[in-house]
């Protein structure tokens, strides 16, 4: 069997999905656990989604998280 490389679109979508699906609730729940209000009066989850998806998008562009 020949090894199939994943498509560039899937590779790029992965970090954005991870940012929105995992990092966003993680950021939101971390803020709530530390009793830190989200900036600009945002709901923690909205803030988490904004940060998580942005981080994922930047990671997708760079090809790496760190």
Q: Which residues bind other proteins (CB under 8 A)?
A: 1, 3-5, 11, 14-15, 18, 21-22, 25-26, 28-30, 33, 59, 62-66
In eight-state DSSP terms, residue 37 is: P
What ranges in the chain are assigned the alpha helix state H?
8-18, 24-33, 44-62
CA distances from 64 to 15, 22, 27, 46 (A): 9, 17, 20, 24
Q: How far apart are CB 54 and other proteins at their closest, in Å?
A: 17
Q: How far apart are CB 59 and other proteins at their closest, in Å?
A: 8
Q: How far apart are CB 58 and other proteins at their closest, in Å?
A: 12
């Amino acid at each position: 069997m020949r090894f199939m490389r994943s498509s560039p679109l899937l590779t790029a979508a992965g970090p954005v999905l991870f940012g929105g699906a995992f990092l966003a609730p993680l950021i939101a729940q971390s803020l709530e656990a530390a009793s830190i209000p989200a900036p600009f009066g945002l709901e923690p989850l909205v803030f988490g989604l904004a940060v998580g998806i942005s981080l994922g998008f930047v990671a997708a562009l760079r090809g790496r998280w760190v």
